[in-house]
Structure 1
Amino acid sequence: MTFSKYIYPLLASALFFTSCQEKNKQIASNEPTENNTDALSPYSIKSKKLPASYVNSKQESLEKFYEKNWPNNSMNGGFLVAKNGQIIFEKYEGKSNFSKDEAIDANTPLHIASVSKVLTATAILRLIDREKLHLEDKVNSLLPTFPYDEITIKMLLSHRSGLPNYAYFADDTKVWNRSKMLHNQDILDLLAQHKFGLYFKPDRKFGYCNTNYAILALVIEKITGKNYREAMKEMIFEPLGMKNTFVYDYSKDKETASLSYKGNKVLYELNHLDDVYGDKNIYSTPRDLLKFDMATYSDKFLNPVLVSEAFKGYSYEHRGTKNYGLGIRMLEWETGEQLFYHNGWWHGNTSSYVKLKKDTVALFAISNKYTLKTYKIWKLAPLFGTYPIKLDKDDVIN
């Protein structure tokens, strides 16, 4: 579950098979690869190869940033930075399962926590693009037992519904038996049965809440007639060649999926909330997420009008730089600069996706050993553009 305050891959070149292969931990390439070309077509951006001087200068700064934040191979996850779809820097370290000594590499799916919301929102937008759904549709016109008449699809996407957080009401033993796994349909049923009070009047303000995206997953299922896991595979993962991305299924994946650890490498135990999807429970890799990021620039993947709707703020009740679009967080400055991102946290998994849309830059960090340093990658933005970000004295940016 994410309560973080901070959204949206290409495969290795010959460098993968050089000295870096020895450790299978660090890969850096500025070449589009075979999988990149095949998977992203027709979603790739047509651009010239980045100059070696540009790549080398960025790699040096990125290496310093990485070593400052994750010294002595301490990340336990994956970190990737790309421009125009070309990987500038990436690194993989640690174990997906310490007891089995399973190393994390470029193909290891890790739990991306609330970065999953970016993908869920995109599936909803693709259904809207196909005219199967509309932003202003009332949720209860699609899910008749949903008990709140005023709430729309757009309010769920932008976290303006006022819905209560299912993690809280499902923690009440009078409401839910925590020895049982909670599922998305259970959340809807509990809302219908108890008619919990809203946190605020719908569309009055922003209120980040995982329930919004658990309900959106049910909407996807209702419209497609398929389980969310299969629908996401068909609408997002397969078309973009995201071969190492899947939606977690507790009954099938609990023994094989990457595990989650506390900062001291103690295993995080699973609980009754571990089979809810839409808000979390997608496993992916930085490279797969880069494929997704590149697709967001293509009108062959999503209507540009809908893209513009997604990448704009909907909550201006309070002054400041922070806002939320449709499945994406953002920073907006008076200078006109914008930075888009989404962070995630669930158990020991932390994730961050930063999109510098104007500069066609994407940054990803995913870890399965609890750390807040994952969320610092947004501070790399000034390395690629004129972003008015105040850096701390110990931040390494050249």
Structure 2
Amino acid sequence: MKMSILKKTNILQILTLSIVLGSCGQQKTKIEKNEAAIIEDTLPKMKPADPEAKVSQAYLNSVTGRINHFYNKNWPNDKMNGSFLVAKNGQIIFERYNGYADKNEGTTINENTPLHIASVSKVLTATAVLKLVNAGKLDLDQKVNTILKTFPYPECTVRMLLSHRSGMRNYAYFTDRDKSVWDRHNQLTNKDILEILATKNIGLESTTGTRFAYCNTNYVMLALIIEKITGLTYKEAMTEMIFKPLGMTHTFVFDYEKDRKTIVPSYKGNNVEIGLDYMDAVYGDKNIFSTPRDLLKFDRARNRPDFLKPDLLKQVYTGYSNERKGTKNYGLGIRMINWDSGQNFYFHNGWWHGYTSSYIPLMNENVTIIALSNKFTRNTYAVRKLAPIFGDYPFNFKDEE
């Protein structure tokens, strides 16, 4: 009889404990969901462009023939794989899609085919960082080691990462040759790169802040800063801050584990497919897939008057590589050409494996030019030749013919 009472008591205690633990679990889940909602609600998000003036038929008649001539000359259908778009006031005035997305499967590229945008990803990474600065969650001149505690270069600031003035070496070089630094049989990540910098005595190429040197490592660190400030993964932060608010439904950050078998592959110029390698899990400097139509939405959102506060926006388009006299320069996440006449040309190109990309915002003319390719060619970068159709851009293309 006593044993029976004891057993019942134990059962009751177990049931009570289960209920309590279950309740705690549910409460914890609710707290986690609430915390995620709070993080998302406090994120500075891009706003879609407002309606813009409709382009007149007379304007279309004056430019489309010249664009078509350029396209037929530089992007012949029998040689090119890719996506090409020109827009005015956010209105598409010319676009073409040709070639195969996946040669083995026989699929072709269309307006909804996401291609790897390579270093044009830097413009999007910089935009997320700038929105965090604009919201007061980050400071341009904040030391990186106040955010990433193990970052080993004490004088480096967020601004220096954005403008490629950190003096750091490219991770592709210091992880490529020495197995004591990294075994290429293992997939490299952003956190791995930070750990290598912190523990492997990777020297600087130049003293921090003394000169411009384009370096992917800068944007790898910026992606980690985005994660640290937002409390989200880079993929989540980019989705919540940029892709989702702008309706960029065919844009995503490449996830090596989940996406590597489904992405559009890239090819050499002779149509041989290029496989992935040990650096394909690194993001921030690259690894965003998108379409010209999605990138157009992004471009027009950057053109909004309230994209950034005026003083911050001015700093974005200020050149920071002035130690040598010349026209080429780099701002905060954007390349530029500054002529002595006062004209300025802003752009960013990209190249990763066989993917090449070019993004050109002709800001004074409200014209956007975007070209993406998954078959290696330098012709992608030739789209800058379109700029003089729309404005006074004193390029000399004779040497490029």
What range describes the TM-score normalised by the shorter chain of this pair? 0.7 to 0.9
Task: Pick from 200, 211, 222 the counterpart of residue 216 of structure 1.
Answer: 222
Structure 2 residue 295 is the aligned partner of structure 1 residue 328? no
Counterpart position of 1:269: 275
The 1:146–1:354 alpha-carbon spacing in structure 2 relative to 1, beyond 3 Å, is same
Counterpart position of 1:140: 145
Output the CA distance in 2 between the equivalents of 1:208 and 1:285.
Answer: 25
Q: Is residue 97–residue 110 contact of structure 2 (8 Å, CA) maintained in 1?
A: yes
The 1:162–1:58 alpha-carbon spacing in structure 2 relative to 1, beyond 3 Å, is same
Output the CA distance in 1 between the equivalents of 2:136 and 2:316.
Answer: 16
- Once the two structures are superposed, residues 352-393 of structure 1 have per-residue CA deviations (whole angstroms, 9 ceiling, x without a partner) of 001111111110100000000001111111000011111228
Q: Is residue 45–residue 85 contact of structure 1 (8 Å, CA) maintained in 2?
A: no
Structure-to-structure mapping, 1:364-379, within 5 angstroms: 364-379=370-385
Counterpart position of 2:169: 164
Counterpart position of 2:95: 90
Q: CA RMSD in A?
A: 1.5
Counterpart position of 1:131: 136
Identity of aligned residues (%): 56
Task: Pick from 101, 114, 123 the counterpart of residue 109 of structure 1.
Answer: 114
Output the CA distance in 2 between the equivalents of 1:45 and 1:73.
Answer: 38
Counterpart position of 2:10: none
Amino acid at match of 1:287: R
Q: Is residue 45–residue 84 contact of structure 1 (8 Å, CA) maintained in 2?
A: no
Output the CA distance in 2 between the equivalents of 1:132 and 1:202.
Answer: 24
Structure 1 residue 41: Cα displacement = 10
| 369-378 vs 293-302, which moves further | 293-302
Amino acid at match of 2:140: L
For normalisation by structure 1, the TM-score amounts to: 0.87
Q: Is residue 349–residue 366 contact of structure 1 (8 Å, CA) maintained in 2?
A: yes
Structure 2 residue 260 is the aligned partner of structure 1 residue 254? yes
- Once the two structures are superposed, residues 140-180 of structure 1 have per-residue CA deviations (whole angstroms, 9 ceiling, x without a partner) of 00001001100000000000000011001111222111010
Structure-to-structure mapping, 1:331-370, within 5 angstroms: 331-370=337-376
Counterpart position of 1:16: none
SS in 1 for 2:285: coil
Q: Is residue 43–residue 301 contact of structure 1 (8 Å, CA) maintained in 2?
A: no
Question: What is the aligned residue count?
Answer: 356
Q: Any unmatched runs of 5+ in structure 1?
A: 1-39
Counterpart position of 1:182: 188
Structure 1 residue 335: Cα displacement = 1.4
Amino acid at match of 2:220: A
Q: Is residue 235–residue 252 contact of structure 2 (8 Å, CA) maintained in 1?
A: yes
Structure 1 residue 74: Cα displacement = 2.5
Output the CA distance in 1 between the equivalents of 2:164 and 2:129.
Answer: 14
| 118-127 vs 165-174, which moves further | 165-174
Structure 2 residue 249 is the aligned partner of structure 1 residue 233? no
Output the CA distance in 2 between the equivalents of 1:212 and 1:393.
Answer: 32
SS in 1 for 2:267: coil
Structure 1 residue 45: Cα displacement = 5.0
SS in 1 for 2:247: coil
Structure 1 residue 304: Cα displacement = 3.1
Counterpart position of 1:48: 53
Q: Is residue 77–residue 98 contact of structure 2 (8 Å, CA) maintained in 1?
A: no
Structure 1 residue 70: Cα displacement = 1.7
Amino acid at match of 2:236: E
Structure 1 residue 47: Cα displacement = 3.7
Structure-to-structure mapping, 1:53-92, within 5 angstroms: 53-92=58-97
Structure 2 residue 279 is the aligned partner of structure 1 residue 299? no
Output the CA distance in 2 between the equivalents of 1:203 and 1:394.
Answer: 34
SS in 1 for 2:398: coil
Q: Is residue 123–residue 220 contact of structure 1 (8 Å, CA) maintained in 2?
A: yes
Q: Which has the larger radius of gyration?
A: 2
Amino acid at match of 2:287: N
Structure 1 residue 46: Cα displacement = 4.7
Amino acid at match of 1:256: T
Output the CA distance in 2 between the equivalents of 1:394 and 1:136.
Answer: 39
The 1:178–1:332 alpha-carbon spacing in structure 2 relative to 1, beyond 3 Å, is same
Amino acid at match of 2:316: A
Q: Is residue 74–residue 93 contact of structure 1 (8 Å, CA) maintained in 2?
A: no
Structure 1 residue 42: Cα displacement = 5.6
Structure 2 residue 291 is the aligned partner of structure 1 residue 281? no
Output the CA distance in 2 between the equivalents of 1:335 and 1:321.
Answer: 11
Name whichever structure is richer in helix by fraction.
2
Bigger RCO (CA 8 Å, 6+ sep): 1
Q: Any unmatched runs of 5+ in structure 2?
A: 1-44
Output the CA distance in 2 between the equivalents of 1:120 and 1:393.
Answer: 33
